[in-house]
Amino acid sequence: MRGDEEGRRWEGLADEAAALRAVGLWRELRRVEGRDGGSLELEGRTVAGFASNDYLGLAEAPEVVAALKEGIDIWGAGAGASRLVCGTFAPHEELEAVLARAKGVEGALVFGSGFAVPMGVIPALVGPGDTVILDKLSHACLVDAAKLSGATLRVFPHNHLEKLERLLATAKGRVLVVTESVFSMDGDRAVLREMVELKERYGAWLLVDEAHAFGVVGPGGRGLVAELGLEGRVELQMGTLSKAVGLSGGYVAGRREVMEWLINRARSFIYSTAVPPFLAHAARVAVELMLGEEGERRRVRLRENVALFQRLMGLEEAVFSSAIVPVIVGGERAAVAMSERLRAAGYWIPAIRYPTVARGAARLRVTLTALHEAVEIEGLAAGFGQAMAELGGGEFAEEAAG
């Protein structure tokens, strides 16, 4: 009987899981057995990956791999404690100095992941009685962190300045505006200059998440805030070390006194073991690589690859905004079917579905990297054409249209 009882305790979940499967929203992990320059060995076959956020290919760069080994030789493995206990090592401070310089501000603070950054930062700055105003397309970690803070949550439609202004005009307490600079699922950019002007007019603070811009956009890949020369006017810039930097971790950057406040109040910083010092060492090397000539060479390749894919997909007019080019399919099941066709043809792009994006806005989020070869991009575009033709009959077209 114990077994049955056990089973019944999970029954509700099994029903919910079945419901998710039925509408094409069930998610599964796929195991990668090996990788080489953007190619993946996935479930017994080699596929060209077009889903990674390793936009510059630094995750496999010899300089970064060598820096990891060197870091381990010098510092060993884990940090052993949180930063405040006895876990602040020289490589942490060196990395933060390089990040602060890259972001054009006084200081930076490194966290265990990009996700952990707003979870610590937002509740450290605002609370009940205050207001957080978010762009509708902001990443889950920004939304979760805003909720955690206890501040009143207000959302404006993507890049909708009039609505943002109305929310600013009626906001209570301390006001924090939050946006991504390059949007993770759409690849477009925030109207940042206008947002900065608005938040200044209303005396609000601004947090810009540069997760998909860092390494890709702006001089030296320093991000959109740097491209627009807004470094002194954005209170907080954040980003990750896990995307174009090719490693793992997150950071926030801003005024020194704010960084000192966060050391005292950001719980995901205080109560979490420090990033391993070898990782901080390698991240500093990777960020310097990203900022320098090698990074620029890779950004040129990346931009060429994005332009080629856009041209082949009939998006000639599109300007370069990021490494992300979403192909919107619409229906969730149609997107999964499209992804499967492309996988069979040798290209791996998982379907991005609700709740990551809105219902009925499922997509294949294609990301280009500096490592892609023109033939792979041509093959992918042809694969899209073929998959659309094969699936283009009744069901797919209807679902896509609906």
Question: At its nearest, how many Å lie between ligand PLP and the CB of residue 139?
Answer: 4
DSSP, res 350? P
Residue 139 touches ligand PLP, criterion: CB under 6 A:
yes
Residue 181 touches ligand PLP, criterion: CB under 6 A:
no
Residues 77 and 68: beta-carbon distance below 8 Å: no
For the record, the structure tokens of 35 come out as: 């990788």
Interface stretch with ligand PLP, choices 10-18, 110-118, 277-285, 391-399 (CB under 6 A): 110-118
**Closer residue to ligand PLP, CB minimum distance, 136 or 341:** 136
Residue 356 touches ligand PLP, criterion: CB under 6 A:
no
Residues 193 and 236: beta-carbon distance below 8 Å: no
Closest CA to 303 of 102, 63, 59, 55: 55
**Closer residue to ligand PLP, CB minimum distance, 211 or 362:** 211
Question: At its nearest, how many Å lie between ligand PLP and the CB of residue 69?
Answer: 22
**Closer residue to ligand PLP, CB minimum distance, 119 or 381:** 119
Verify cis geometry, omega within 30 degrees of 0, for the bond prior to 355: yes
Q: Which residues are catalytic?
A: 53, 139, 180, 184, 209, 212, 243
**Measured distance between the N- and C-terminal CA atoms of the chain, rounded to whole angstroms:** 47
**Closer residue to ligand PLP, CB minimum distance, 30 or 256:** 30
Residue 223 touches ligand PLP, criterion: CB under 6 A:
no
Residue indicated by tokens 């439609």: 157
- Coil, strand, or helix at residue 279? helix
Taking residues 35 to 54 in sequence order and writing x for each that binds ligand PLP by CB under 6 A, - otherwise, the string is --------------------
Q: Which of 55, 89, 115, 214 binds ligand PLP (CB under 6 A)?
A: 115
Q: Which of 141, 253, 306, 391 binds ligand PLP (CB under 6 A)?
A: 141
CA–CA–CA angle 31, 34, 39 (5° rounding):
100
Return all residues near 396 (Cβ < 8 A) that are at least 6 apart. 331, 334, 337, 338, 388
Residue 113 touches ligand PLP, criterion: CB under 6 A:
yes
Closest CA to 342 of 275, 389, 302, 306: 389
Instruction: Catalog residues that contact ligand PLP under the rule CB under 6 A.
Output: 113-115, 139, 141, 180, 184, 209, 211-212, 240, 242, 250
